[in-house]
Amino acid sequence: MKKTIVKYFFEFIVIVIGVSISFYAENYNDSLNKIQLKNQSLNRILENLKIDNTDNRFNYKAHSESLISSEWILTNRNNLSAYSRDTIGFHLSRAINIITYFVDNQEEYKTIQSSGYIEYLENENLVKGLQEKYVQHKVMKFIEEEIRSKAIALADFEFKNSKIINDSMYMGFYLIYKRYIGDLEIPNEFYDRIIEKASFQKIYLFQIKRRIQRDSILANEINKEILVD
C-alpha cells in the first residue's frame, strides 16, 4: 500500500514538474518573442530618428535664413532706397515664403504603447525620452502652424508688390528670386507682421535645436536597450 502511495506521489510530482516546466517554457518563449518584437520596433524608431534628424536640420537651416532676411528688413526699414529692388525683393520673399511642414512617423511608438511592449523597456530614461519626444513634436507642429498663418497674412502684400525675375528654386523648394516693385514706404502693419513671424521662428529654432540634441541622446538609449537584450 505504501509503495503504491509513494508511486502515485512521485508520478504526481513528475506531472507537476512537467507542467511547470512546460508553463515556464511557454512563458519564456512568449516573453522572448515580445522582446524581439519590441527590439524590432525600437530599430524602426532608430530609422525614424535619422529621418527626423534630416528634416530638423533642413528646417533649422531654412528658418534661420528666413530669420536673417526678416532681421535685414527690420534693420533697413528706414533705408530701403539704399539697396536695389532685387535685394529688397529677395529678402522680403525669403522672410515671408520660407515655411516648413514637419511630418513625423509615430507608428512604431504607438505600436510599442498599444501592444504593451513598453513594459519590456528596462531603461526608464528611454521610456521618458520617447514620451517627451512625441509631446515636443506636437509643440513644434503647433509653432509651425503659427508661422504659416503669419506667412499667409504677409503673402498678399508680397504678391502684389513683387515680380519674379528668376524661376530657379532656392534650397530646392522656395521660389524667392523676385524684384520688389512697390512703394518703398512700406506700411508699419507689414513690419509688425514680419516681427510676429520672426518671433515664432526664433521659438521654433530653439525647439529644433533642442530636439536634435535630445534625439541624439534618445538614439543612444535605444541602442543600449537593444544591446542589453
pLDDT tens-digit readout, 177-191: 999 999 999 999 999
Per-residue pLDDT, 121? 75
The parent domain of residue 69 ranges over 2-228
* The C-alpha cell that represents 98 in the structure block: 520660407
Per-residue pLDDT, 147? 97
Report the pLDDT averaged over residues 58-67: 97
For residue 64, pLDDT beyond 80: yes
Per-residue pLDDT, 123? 79
Residue 88 CA, distance from chain mean position = 33
CB-based burial label for 228 (10 Å; 0-12, 13-18, 19+) = exposed
| 104-124 per-position pLDDT tens digit | 888 877 877 777 666 767 778
For residue 192, pLDDT beyond 80: yes
pLDDT, greater one: 132 or 173:
132
Per this entry, what is the length of the chain?
229
For residue 24, pLDDT beyond 70: no
**pLDDT-above-70 percentage for the chain:** 82
The number of beta carbons lying within 10 Å of the beta carbon of residue 70 is 25
| 164-173 per-position pLDDT tens digit | 998 898 988 8
* The C-alpha cell that represents 140 in the structure block: 513644434
- Nearest alpha carbon to residue 134 among 102, 180, 91: 102
Per-residue pLDDT, 171? 86
| 42-57 per-position pLDDT tens digit | 899 999 999 999 999 9
* The C-alpha cell that represents 72 in the structure block: 535685414
Per-residue pLDDT, 21? 53
Number of domains in the chain: 1
Per-residue pLDDT, 28? 42
193-to-97, 99, 143, 152 alpha-carbon distances in Å:
13, 15, 15, 10
Task: Please tell me the pTM assigned to this model.
Answer: 0.82
Per-residue buried b or exposed e for 9-39, using 16+ beta carbons within 10 Å of the residue's own CB: eeeeeeeeeeeeeeeeeeeeeeeeeebeebb
**What is the three-class DSSP state of 84?**
coil
